[in-house]
Structure 1
Amino acid sequence: MKIGIGSDHGGFELKEYIKEYLDREGISYIDYGTNSIESVDYPDYGKKVSEAVVSKEVDKAVVICGTGIGISIACNKVKGIRCALCGDTYSARMSREHNDANILALGGRVIGRDLALEIVSIWLKTKFEGGRHEKRVEKISEIEG
C-alpha cells in the first residue's frame, strides 16, 4: 500500500508527525507538500493529493489543514474522491467500512497528535465492508456524473 499525504501550512506540523509514524510502520508514502509553515492555499494541495488517488499513483491519502474542513471540501470536488474529515476513531473506522473513503482529512489545529495517529492507524487498517454499503457508494459516484 502506498499513501499520499499533503497539507497546507496549518497542517504542516501534524503532517510531519504522521510521516514519522508511517516511516516507523514501514508504510510507503508520497509527500505532496507543503514543505513549511509559510502560508499556502489548501485547495492546491487537496487537488494534488486527490489527483494522485484517482490516477492510482497512491492507494489512499491523508490530507491536513488547520481544521480539515477546507482541504476536505477541496478534495471532494475531484471526481472519484470520497474524503472523510474525522476527529475520532469511530468515524475513521466507519468512513472506511461503510463509505469506502479513499482520503482521510484531519485538522492540524484541532486534534492532538496522539489521537491523530490513532485515527490514521485505524483508518489505514480498516477495510470496506461492501455488501449493503456498496450500492450507497455507487449512488455517490452517480451524483458526480
Structure 2
Amino acid sequence: MRIAIASDHAGFEYKEAIKTFLGNHGHEVVDFGTDSQESCDYPLFIRPAAESVASENCELGIILGGSVNGEAMVANRIPGG
C-alpha cells in the first residue's frame, strides 16, 4: 500500500517511527515532511499529503501533530482528502 505521511514538528519523532514500522511491513511510505523537530507551519506539509490521497496518488494518509486539531482542519478542507 502507498501511504502518505506528514507532521508538524511536534509529531516528527512519531512520524519517523511509523515510517520505519510501515516500511518494514512492506508498505511504500511517501513522506511529505517535516524533516526535523524545528518549529514549522504544518499546512506546508499536511495539505500536500491530503492532496495526494484525494488525487489517489496515495491510498491512505497519516497526519500527526501536537493536538492534530489544526492539521485535521487543513486535511479536511481538501475535497476527497
Please give the range of the TM-score, normalised by the shorter of the 2 chains: over 0.9
Does residue 77 in structure 1 map to residue 80 in structure 2? no
CA–CA distance in structure 2, aligned partners of residues 26 and 6 of structure 1? 19
Structure 1 residue 54: deviation in Å?
Answer: 1.1
Structure 1 residue 68: deviation in Å?
Answer: 1.4
1:106-132 Cα deviation digits (max 9, x unpaired): xxxxxxxxxxxxxxxxxxxxxxxxxxx
Partner of 1:49: 49
* Structure with the largest fraction of helix: 1
Structure 1 residue 71: deviation in Å?
Answer: 0.5
Decide whether the 8 Å contact of 2:32 with 2:46 is kept in 1: no
CA–CA distance in structure 2, aligned partners of residues 14 and 34 of structure 1? 12
CA–CA distance in structure 2, aligned partners of residues 23 and 55 of structure 1? 22
Q: 1:14-33 residue pairs with structure 2 within 5 A?
A: 14-33=14-33
Larger RCO: 1 or 2 (CA < 8 Å, sep 6+) = 2
TM-score (norm 2): 0.93
List runs of 5+ in structure 2 lacking aligned partners. none
1:62 maps to a residue whose letter is I
Partner of 1:35: 35
* Count of matched residue positions in the alignment of Structure 1 and Structure 2: 81
2:48 maps to a residue whose letter is K
List runs of 5+ in structure 1 lacking aligned partners. 82-145
1:78 maps to a residue whose letter is I
Q: Which runs of 4+ in 1 moved over 6 A?
A: none
CA–CA distance in structure 2, aligned partners of residues 20 and 40 of structure 1? 22
Identity %: 38
Q: 1:6-21 residue pairs with structure 2 within 5 A?
A: 6-21=6-21
Please provide the CA RMSD for this pair: 0.9
